[in-house]
Structure 1
Amino acid sequence: MALLKVYIREFEKSRIIPARVQIWNEKGKYFYPDGCIPYEKDNHFITNGSFEIQMPSGKTYISVEKGKEYFPIEGELNIQKGQDYHVDCELHRWINMAELGWYSGDIHIHRQINEMENLMLAEDLNIAPNITVWNNWKYSNDDIRIVPKDRIVRIDKTHQFSILTQEDERKGGAVIMLNLDSPIEFDFVSDWHPAGFEYCRIAHENGFLVDQEKPFWWEAPVNVALGGIDTIGIINNHIQRQSVMDDEAWGRPRDKDKYPGYKGFVDNVLDLYYHYLNLGFRIPISAGSASGVLSNPVGFNRLYVHLGEDFSYKNWFLGMKAGHSFATNGPMLFFNVDGKEPGNFLLSTNGKPLQSKISINAESINPLENIQVVYNGEVIREFSTNGAKKFSYEFDVELSESGWIIARAFEKSDKTIKFAHTSPIYVQIGQNKICRKESALFYANWCKELLAMSSADKERYATIIQREEVESLYRRAITFYENLVG
């Protein structure tokens, strides 16, 4: 055996810094030092910046990463028995988003509270509403029935997490109730009763935000139609560091002929989201990794919110709800129309088309594949980057219809789908509103299918009253979408 000592610092700075590390040998065995936070789902561990470990002889590989804003480090050692090895790793920033007024958050985390400080600092993640209540206490990772008065833990001025966020994840899908004062509990909870919307309703009645964790969950269009949703997860936990979970789990399956492969999974998620925008819903995006349950590190999928110099835990979520944001698991993406960023409105009070200027900038540590601008569901400009890592362009466009406009940027990747996507900028031409009948019909039929499955399942509910409570919500959603069809 040989002793390996590793020290991680930021370039031109002396103090050690937390980071995420992988160490493995030529046999494919991974190693985890004492005193670090191991995460075997992804074969990595979190260090505070220094560690030592006894290693067997042979080729040893090391990878060091720190979130999205630093270049990763990869190295190789030929370990000889009986020798000591001292390795200094210097991490270089390629971008400082906080200096630009953008702050990152991951709203889907299932990790132990006592790990959160090191996890967030290692990933340079600014905001984390840690999920400590999952499925009505059944799978809670911490017993927090006695809730501390201050539920926000301030690691430092720009890294903060909360300890009471709740996920309801059952047969109808998953919704996340953010930053609660107390858990939302029911006397009796089954796979389908109460409907997920009841959690949304109670959260909203008490002033809390609700995220529709993925748009393909069966009850998602019910939750949206009834006003239960503030954000929708588009870069979600099925998109992982090494692959994509290429199915909709127990949600509504996509047409894999129309949406094949990993890219098809993402395109389906985006099209489901765009249907809502095409009905006039002004719902911004979110991002989450489900670290603690799935293989993703904390913050692999994250949302950047533009706050300028007004960073606080509260302001970050206000910015998320307002849609001043983009989601990413790779590139950084900056987008504005006539100087207005995502979440803002472009207004033509006289009803005439807007002659607008679009500005788009994308940057990554990996080669970019393409950049797209989408207006009311249609790609109006697409740029091939020829493998460049930076892209910047301005162009003029006529916006003649009310609706929305977004940008998205894809990286080249042979393992997973890495991309960035902005929240919408909204377009208002006179008094006209966007309401695409095909989108209304799509979700009306979805809810009818959901109701038919419910009606046909005689064992789904314990009582007739429970059945009526749930199915009445489905019928309300059907009526809502049918009214939009006209």
Structure 2
Amino acid sequence: MTIRKIPINLRSVYNKNIAALTVDDCSQTVVANRHHLLTGEQELWGIPFLLGPDGGAAEKSDAAASPGSEPTSPAVPSVAADPANVILLKDADVHIPLPGGVHDRQLVFVHAADFKESPAQPDGMTSPMLGTPRLGEVVCTYVLNYDDGTRVEVPIRRRYEISEFNTAWGENSFEAVKHLKPFAIPDKSLEREGMASYPWGKTQIATTFQGEGSPMHHWLYALENPYPQKLLIALTLHPVDGAAFIFGITGANASSHPLRWGERKKLKLKSAAALNHYGKEADIYIDMGAVISVTPMLRYDNERWCGASRDPQPVPSADEWIVEYTAHPDACLHVRGARPVSLPIREWERRGEAEFGESQTLPVRLRVLEKSTNKPVAAKVHIHGRWGEYVAPVNGHRQPNPRWFEDYGAEHVNGFHYSVYINGEADYKLPRGEVFLEVTKGLEITPIRKRIVIDEHTSEIIVELERVLPWRQKGWVTADTHVHFLSPQTALLEGEAEGVNVVNLLTSQWGEMFSNIGDFDGKTTIGSVQNGGTGEYLVRVGTENRQHILGHISLLGYEGSMILPLCTGGPDESALGDPLEATITQWARMCREKFGLAVLPHLPNPRAEGAASIVLGEIDAVEICSFEVSGISPYSLSDWYRYLNCGYQVPAVAGTDKMSQSTAVGTIRTYSLIRGEPFTYESWMRSVRKGLTFVTYGPLMDFTVNGCEAGATIEMAASGGTVDVVWHAASVTVPITRIELVVNGEQRECKTADGEQPSCAGAWTVNVSESCWIALRIRGAYPGQAEIITAHSSAVFVKVDGKPAFRAADAVTILEQIEGSTAYIKTLATRADERIFKQLLDTLHSAHSALHRRMHERHIYHRHATHEHHRH
């Protein structure tokens, strides 16, 4: 049942026409802005008002046209000859009879005070300091007249019951609200035609403020009737100090203050179509409140939640929606569409389709402990309730943002599965009843999933984590070579929670935008013992230097000043008009001279000058990248195999290129082996340079050839021979389906694995007749999902008769890539001065000559990009 809200017709007592206001009536500011004052039928904060007539020429505000939205362009009175449409309370009382009388609990006024300045003293100071508007000054009094002769005077004070048409930030009223209620605003990806556009930063706030968008604020004040049992027969408005405008009055019988909304709640709604809750065309809205979000109900497999490790991705419902809202208890929810619905919020609650508000949830502290030490440890946490709705900690986003370079918390968005990173402890408000908990930490600890019943006795949840795969104890450390946009401390937290020992946070440039510039100092390893950390989890800020054609290079751990320019050669990477001032090879060389690690990122693209860098020996590793969780790309591996096939011993590392919360730090990661020395950032770099690495989405491996780990070179006589390959693989995340031995890019051996078993091992003997490289490749899949490449080792090289491997077909493609890079510099690249131009070409020519010489030594002839090469 809806509450009574009846507008009072003031037509007989209006004494001014808005369009005819002059400076004799009010301030020049009001006169200049009179076209912004409201007239006509309006719905403000869900309450209907009958304001003064607009003369028939003006349009109604958006609020009147659409009860689910707010006015953006108030009505404009037509001409001065129109009838009076506002009460100007200035020089005389205004008496408002209420024919038949009313027993309303509240009288809701739409009114505003004219501006009044506080005079300053000669020194510029103001005393007494009342603020703007002048705090507590009585503008007028409203007198309630009852049929038994009772009179009640209500003082109407500035910044209490009324305020001026515009107020400074931070000086809102204590008992009145601006006529535009706050509402949710869409992010940029959801904006539609005809919808108000908001700047990027504003969309991250996701809500307007009351009054936003209106140059002239009309204030709503709900006067509580002290004697609703008596018959109220008239109002008398009495001016006291300054002028006031009264636009309209509505009588209401709300169960509580009609302008006070309740706490955030949720309800479940069935609808065959997605529901838009933005703007004038909203499909769903609340009159005395606001819809915060509408998200599909998520269907988790809660029956198997506590079972074996698996991808927890839920299935979003196509016809059931979770509506988050804030509203007055008497509010109504309206749904448009083929089957429109208008029901009081109380009715939804009575039907059991609404959740309790947050004050009726229970405070619970979650503690994640390391079982062996009983100490808190960082971890990634997910909790959802009975409707599949994500439950965030008190200080977390309820709707984590997966988009590029937007509002970040320490969170992860895996499709519809949301998680938060915590540093061992977190405070929650959990709903009573069942909740479903998931805690993960890296690839060596089995994910823990629990079903927990929350009741008044639940104050703490303790989860113990135990390492079940001992790769760290064997000397392996993990790393993500490529992370963007996090603060160093957030990167440290996420790295620890994901079990990533080394996070390389990269400063870079995108056009005119720069990231993490102030975090780079060329010396500090965050988390190291020397800098107050434990030394087990480290963050180092490096740079990703980029050119949109020639390629990118990740410069890790170098010392001293930043290697510049960060980006060059204009869009897509640097700013318009930037000339080409450096090559990938030059950047890599500078990094290594500064004791850093030069990594060719997200192999193979941009696929150009990186070939020259590898040929010249300036690359320490190539990066197998994860833009999504779709496994290691065969396309990327094919590019890497080209260089291995030509004897270039570049190891593999892994980096996520994380640029949003849709990618977790270490989704794909490097494992590198450190033995005989403590783990530090420097020892990690040495391990990578040696090639003691494998990259993985989940499965871990031990892999040796004749007892030698990846990165080693085995010398054999011209007659060749055999090598013994021994391997062990294990996984607590992605089930292993196949283990493959790769020789010179081709599968030589294969073993099918039982995905239900956490580990497997084997050995092969391989005949070697010519120089080659050997590596281990692992495939895996979650049940019901496609098989992907999940892990790959760096290579062991076997050199027969002292000659490195060399495959002619691959050498030709590498040479042509260098020639293409040279052609770009000569033709399209924006040139700097002649000296730099020649330096760029010299770098490419050096690489071309080095590879060209090797090809000639092996009598390999080919077609050049610009001319035919003939045998001399």
Pairwise same-fold verdict (TM > 0.5): yes
1:99 matched residue in structure 2: 473
1:228 matched residue in structure 2: 618
Unaligned runs of 5+ in 2: 1-357, 397-408, 571-579, 861-872
Which of 780, 783, 805 is equivalent to 1:411? 780
Which of 125, 131, 153 is equivalent to 2:500? 125
Paired with 2:842 and 2:661, the residues of 1 have a C-alpha distance of 34
1:21 matched residue in structure 2: 381
| Partner SS state of residue 483, structure 2 | coil
Q: 1:275-311: per-residue Cα shift (whole Å, max 9, x none)?
A: 1011111111111123354622222222112223422
2:411 matched residue in structure 1: 39
Native 8 Å contact 1:346 1:427 kept in 2 = yes
Bigger helix fraction: 1
1:412 is displaced (CA, Å) by 1.5
1:427 matched residue in structure 2: 798
Which of 585, 590, 611 is equivalent to 1:197? 585
- Structure showing greater relative contact order (alpha-carbon pairs closer than 8 Å, 6 or more residues apart): 1
Distance 1:185 1:416, change over 3 A: farther
Distance 1:354 1:148, change over 3 A: closer
| Partner SS state of residue 685, structure 2 | helix
| Partner SS state of residue 514, structure 2 | coil
Native 8 Å contact 1:135 1:168 kept in 2 = no
Structure 2 residue identity aligned to 1:170: Q
- The 5 Å alignment of 1:310-389 reads 310-313=677-680, 314-348=682-716, 350-365=717-732, 366-387=734-755, 388-389=757-758
Paired with 1:197 and 1:432, the residues of 2 have a C-alpha distance of 26
Paired with 1:49 and 1:309, the residues of 2 have a C-alpha distance of 31
Which of 440, 458, 472 is equivalent to 1:65? 440
Unaligned runs of 5+ in 1: 245-261
Structure 1 residue identity aligned to 2:616: L
2:562 matched residue in structure 1: 183
1:237 matched residue in structure 2: 626
Distance 1:415 1:54, change over 3 A: farther
Structure 2 residue identity aligned to 1:301: I
Distance 1:66 1:144, change over 3 A: closer
Q: Does 1:89 align with 2:463?
A: yes
1:120 is displaced (CA, Å) by 2.9
Output the TM-score relative to the length of structure 1. Answer: 0.84
Paired with 1:440 and 1:164, the residues of 2 have a C-alpha distance of 35
Distance 1:460 1:334, change over 3 A: same
Q: 1:439-467: per-residue Cα shift (whole Å, max 9, x none)?
A: 1112223334444555553x744666665
Q: Does 1:108 align with 2:482?
A: yes
| Partner SS state of residue 392, structure 2 | coil
Q: 1:328-384: per-residue Cα shift (whole Å, max 9, x none)?
A: 121111111111111112112x32212221101111124211111111222110111
Distance 1:206 1:221, change over 3 A: same
Native 8 Å contact 2:738 2:752 kept in 1 = yes
Structure 2 residue identity aligned to 1:159: E
Structure 1 residue identity aligned to 2:366: V
1:269 matched residue in structure 2: 636
Paired with 1:134 and 1:312, the residues of 2 have a C-alpha distance of 31
Output the TM-score relative to the length of structure 2. Answer: 0.49
Q: Does 1:284 align with 2:284?
A: no
Native 8 Å contact 1:130 1:161 kept in 2 = no
1:198 is displaced (CA, Å) by 2.2
Distance 1:222 1:295, change over 3 A: farther
Task: Between 183-192 and 93-102, report the one with greater CA deviation.
Answer: 183-192
1:158 is displaced (CA, Å) by 4.5
1:154 matched residue in structure 2: 528
Paired with 1:56 and 1:396, the residues of 2 have a C-alpha distance of 59
Structure 2 residue identity aligned to 1:225: V
2:426 matched residue in structure 1: 51
Native 8 Å contact 1:132 1:163 kept in 2 = no
| Partner SS state of residue 139, structure 1 | strand
Native 8 Å contact 1:237 1:294 kept in 2 = no
Native 8 Å contact 2:703 2:776 kept in 1 = yes
Native 8 Å contact 2:488 2:539 kept in 1 = no
Native 8 Å contact 2:381 2:422 kept in 1 = yes
1:257 matched residue in structure 2: none
| Partner SS state of residue 104, structure 1 | strand
| Partner SS state of residue 166, structure 1 | strand
Identity %: 22
Paired with 1:460 and 1:165, the residues of 2 have a C-alpha distance of 27
1:121 is displaced (CA, Å) by 2.4
Q: CA RMSD in A?
A: 3.0
1:212 is displaced (CA, Å) by 0.3
Would you say how many aligned residue pairs link Structure 1 and Structure 2? 459
1:26 is displaced (CA, Å) by 5.4
2:547 matched residue in structure 1: 170
Paired with 1:48 and 1:432, the residues of 2 have a C-alpha distance of 52
Native 8 Å contact 1:166 1:178 kept in 2 = yes
Which of 284, 289, 300 is equivalent to 2:667? 300
Native 8 Å contact 1:164 1:180 kept in 2 = no
Paired with 1:188 and 1:132, the residues of 2 have a C-alpha distance of 11
